[in-house]
Amino acid sequence: MNFMEKLELIKKDTEEIVTNGELRELLEKKKRPVSYCGIAPTGPPHIGYYRAIAKQIDLIEAGFRHKLLIADLHAYLDDRKAPWDELDVRTKIYEKCLKLFGLNGAEFVKGSDFQANKKYFLDVLKMSGIDTTSRAERAAREVCRMKNPTVSELIYPIMQSLDCVGLDVDLTCGGIDQRHVYMLSREYLPKLGYKKPVCIFTPLGIRLSGSGKMSASEKGTRLELFASEEKIKKEIEGAFCPPEIRGNPVLEYMKFIVFRRKNKIRIERPKKFGGDIEIKSYEELEKLYQNGKLHPLDLKKSAGKEIAEILKPIRKYFERHGDMLKVFGD
């Protein structure tokens, strides 16, 4: 893969890059730069991570050494969405799910394995001494619950910034809801003598209802990666699927989940509606749907079938290790 191919792959399907010039310079100067994405195990892992996972796979294919941080301490700092005594098992669940969902090329790191060391802790104190409560709150507002802000929620963006140092990364990758946190990182890390990271932001994954993002900590918004085949098919068959391409969660799942893993699919249809059809790319699927040649119900049934098959290894694993999932309740 040449330089321009790498650059285009990294930029593909992003919301914003801060900055494009710094990204080019990084690719020109460093043979194998280091990137990372952090995920906090606040609730069951779900398919809403599809955008972030697709971009992380792009980074790996572009030659980055990619680290995936399971931010266990952050899951507690965010208004205790994950109880302290459940952090280890939640971390194990996330690592297994995300590897089986396509991130087996990443290096997995547990936050508490390096965030508890002396140097990291002292840097947290240093940054807290130059940050302000209003700045920290603004950074945390889109990623933490912040109903009645706790001190831990103000520490959250400070620690996330210092994760860039602890993991020794050149580039961060996350949803656009992470923007305020990483702008704080770029502002304050140089004041502590550290480099500021290049930042890549992806659009947020769309929930099944088509309104808002999936959230691990909000039960009604998510479809778990370990869900049963029946639940996957039922939930996707009932998903919002408008005639438009934009804001259509089913098409998004086909683009970023199904066609990232398959070169072609077969959509089953009754003969009176044209019979089965083989589709060899997402672009072909989108064109058929946009032109009204594919019914939403046929699309949803196909999506449910394909996604259930993709998630089968995760489902099978937790059929054998189901006791682990008790940490997420009913």
What distance in Å separates the CA atoms of residue 166 and residue 109, rounded to the nearest whole number?
Answer: 11
Which residues have C-beta within 8 Å of that of residue 42, sequence separation ≥ 6?
75, 78, 81, 82, 216, 217
CATH class, domain 228-310, is mainly alpha
Q: Please list the alpha-helical segments (H only) found in the chain.
A: 3-11, 20-29, 50-61, 72-77, 87-98, 112-115, 118-130, 133-140, 151-166, 179-188, 229-237, 249-253, 282-290, 296-310, 312-320
- Provide the 8-state DSSP code for 46: B
* pLDDT tens by residue, 100-126: 999 989 999 999 999 999 999 999 999
Q: Which is higher by pLDDT, 149 or 301?
A: 301
CA distances from 224 to 1, 56, 141 (A): 35, 20, 25
CATH class, domain 3-202, is alpha beta
Give the model's confidence band at 271: pLDDT under 50 very low, under 70 low, under 90 confident, else very high: confident
Predicted pLDDT of residue 145: 85
Dihedral of CA 104/106/111/115: which sign?
positive
What distance in Å separates the CA atoms of residue 130 and residue 124, rounded to the nearest whole number?
Answer: 10
Which residues have C-beta within 8 Å of that of residue 112, sequence separation ≥ 6?
72, 73, 87
Give the model's confidence band at 270: pLDDT under 50 very low, under 70 low, under 90 confident, else very high: confident
The pTM (predicted TM-score) of the whole model is: 0.93
Q: What are phi and psi of 80, to 5 degrees?
A: 55, 40
Indicate the domain borders of the chain: 3-202, 228-310
Inter-residue contact 9 to 35 (CB < 8 Å): no
Predicted pLDDT of residue 302: 97
* pLDDT tens by residue, 225-257: 999 999 999 999 999 999 999 999 999 999 999
Q: Is 273 helix (H, G, I), strand (E, B) or coil?
A: helix
* pLDDT tens by residue, 135-193: 999 999 989 988 888 999 999 999 999 999 999 999 999 999 999 999 999 999 999 99
Percent of the chain with pLDDT over 70: 97
How much is the average pLDDT of 18-44?
A: 96
* pLDDT tens by residue, 75-86: 999 999 999 999
